């Protein structure tokens, strides 16, 4: 045990603890009859330590290494993907810190609004590369947004990302703080300014309409950003999410049964009424079609298997925000319920529905 502890760089106490809780048991015996670690035990210990170093809790690690469907190669693949994801995240944070240090060294003042605004951009500089895989314009949601835009000729699209929902027949200016997202805008897309909603670099009333789609929840100060939109445009159209209704977490089976942590992601998000009040807007429901083409968090409410796909989850920030532990647990538990038929049993009422109201709202002011 002492030898293995030294090799693995952990204390003998840790190994004793893993033994006691049944996580890694020394299953071999030495010639003198002492318990010893077999090659298989050491392999398992390596997996346990790697998951622990990635921040998984002991219970979670036990489930991960105990999964009979996962062999060593599958573990190594999963670990590799997790480590790369962490590295990308850390690289993006380092890049953002370097940018801010460079700005400060030049004496450029970074306002609190900009600092907060850049938080959302930092996230998208990290995860944005996975966005275009599944996030694109859904024609039915686009039609509802178009209707709200009315006859506006000049359009400001705030938090524009890769340009979904930007009307092709208007004069569009995009605002997007994440360099990664700006770089993924298709050739020929509207011109895009690097700025954040909280301090829009435009004069009062510069646009007929300002629109924002699936972005307000990323802003450091949503109400300040909405007021800015109101300042620079005569009309404001915002696709956002309603958390006012008590028990809103239960509207969607994914948050109700598998990912209750979603509530904490939106814990500081302003109530819909406050957002509507900030810009004098009315709110209308935006039903999510059963075959929604935009892979938003709620998009696959009638296609639950999609949530088991890594590329589907990586294009939605919620999964990064709840952290790998909650994500893996939710996915495993959903996978099990799909396999056993429990999901279908619980959600049989959804089978024939064409669209569902899952809390998406269009604010129109
Ligand atoms: C989920 S994406 C939505 C992109 C696009 N509107 C769409 O519907 O596909 C959210 C976007 O908001 C941007 N964002 C984050 N913080 C922001 C801020 N403070 N002001 C403006 N945009 C922000 C992110 O960089 C990201 O591109």
Nearest CA to ligand 1 atom 23: 159
The parent domain of residue 8 ranges over: 2-65
Last residue of a domain, one of 26, 50, 65: 65
Q: What's the pLDDT score for residue 51?
A: 85
Asked if 313 and 307 touch (Cβ cutoff 8 Å), the reply is: yes
Q: What's the pLDDT score for residue 271?
A: 95
Residue 242 lies in a domain: yes
DSSP assignments along 47-102, one per residue? HHHHHHHTT--HHHHHHHHH-TT--HHHHHHHHHHHHHHHHHHHHHHHHHHHHHHH
Residue 143 lies in a domain: yes
Residues 156 and 273 both lie in one domain: yes
**Between the CA of residue 124 and those of 28, 43, 130, 137, 334, what are the distances in Å?**
49, 36, 10, 18, 27
Q: Which residues of the chain are under the pLDDT cut of 50? A: none
Residues 322 and 206 both lie in one domain: yes
Give the CATH number for residue 24.
Answer: 1.10.1660.10
Residues 139 and 60 both lie in one domain: no
Give the CATH number for residue 154.
Answer: 3.40.50.150
Residues 183 and 315 both lie in one domain: yes
Residues 253 and 154 both lie in one domain: yes
Q: How many domains does the chain have?
A: 2
Residues 32 and 174 both lie in one domain: no
Residue 108 lies in a domain: no
User: Which residue ranges have their beta carbon within 6 Å of ligand 1?
Assistant: 117, 120-121, 124, 135, 158-161, 164-165, 176-178, 181, 196-198, 213-215, 218-220, 225
How far apart, in whole angstroms, are the C-alpha atoms of residue 211 and residue 145?
9
Last residue of a domain, one of 35, 65, 95: 65
Residue 159 lies in a domain: yes
Place of tokens 């109201």: 357
Pick the closest to residue 136 from 104, 165, 157, 169 (CA basis).
Answer: 165
Place of tokens 């646009």: 207
Q: What's the pLDDT score for residue 117?
A: 55
Q: What's the pLDDT score for residue 303?
A: 98
Mutate to test the pocket of ligand 1, among 161, 192, 362 (most ligand atoms within 8 A of CB): 161
Residue 44 lies in a domain: yes
Residues 46 and 174 both lie in one domain: no
Residues 167 and 262 both lie in one domain: yes
The string of pLDDT tens digits covering residues 277-326 is: 999 999 999 999 999 999 999 999 999 999 999 999 999 999 988 888 89
Residue 98 lies in a domain: no
């Amino acid at each position: 045990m002492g030898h293995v502890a030294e090799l693995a760089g952990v204390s003998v106490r840790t190994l004793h603890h893993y033994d006691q809780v049944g996580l890694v048991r020394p299953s071999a015996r030495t010639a003198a009859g002492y318990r010893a670690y077999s090659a298989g035990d050491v392999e398992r210990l390596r997996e346990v330590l790697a998951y622990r170093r990635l921040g998984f809790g002991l219970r979670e690690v036990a489930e991960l290494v105990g999964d009979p469907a996962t062999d060593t190669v599958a573990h190594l693949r999963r670990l590799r993907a997790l480590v790369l994801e962490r590295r990308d995240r850390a690289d993006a944070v380092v890049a953002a810190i370097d940018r801010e240090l460079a700005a400060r060294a030049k004496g450029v003042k970074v306002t609190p609004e900009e600092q907060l605004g850049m938080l959302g951009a930092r996230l998208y500089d990290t995860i944005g590369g996975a966005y275009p895989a599944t996030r694109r314009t859904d024609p039915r949601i686009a039609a509802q947004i178009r209707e709200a835009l009315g006859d506006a000729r000049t359009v400001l699209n705030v938090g524009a990302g890769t340009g979904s929902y930007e009307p092709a027949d208007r004069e569009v200016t995009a605002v997007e703080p994440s360099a990664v997202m700006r770089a993924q805008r298709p050739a020929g897309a509207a011109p895009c300014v690097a700025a954040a909603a909280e301090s829009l670099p435009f004069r009062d009333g510069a646009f007929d309409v300002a629109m924002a789609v699936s972005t307000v929840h990323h802003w450091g100060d949503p109400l300040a950003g909405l007021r800015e939109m109101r300042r620079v445009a005569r009309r404001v159209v915002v696709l956002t999410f309603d958390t006012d209704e008590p028990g809103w977490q239960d509207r969607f089976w994914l948050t109700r049964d598998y990912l209750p942590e979603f509530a904490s992601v939106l814990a500081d998000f302003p109530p819909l009424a406050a957002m509507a009040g900030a810009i004098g807007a009315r709110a209308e429901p935006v039903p999510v079609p059963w075959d929604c083409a935009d892979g938003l968090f709620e998009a696959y409410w009638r296609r639950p298997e999609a949530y088991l796909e890594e590329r589907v989850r990586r294009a939605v920030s919620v999964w990064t925000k709840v952290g790998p532990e909650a994500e893996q647990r939710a996915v495993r538990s959903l996978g099990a319920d799909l396999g056993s038929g429990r999901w279908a049993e619980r959600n049989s009422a959804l089978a024939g529905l064409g669209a569902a109201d899952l809390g998406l709202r269009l604010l129109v002011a």
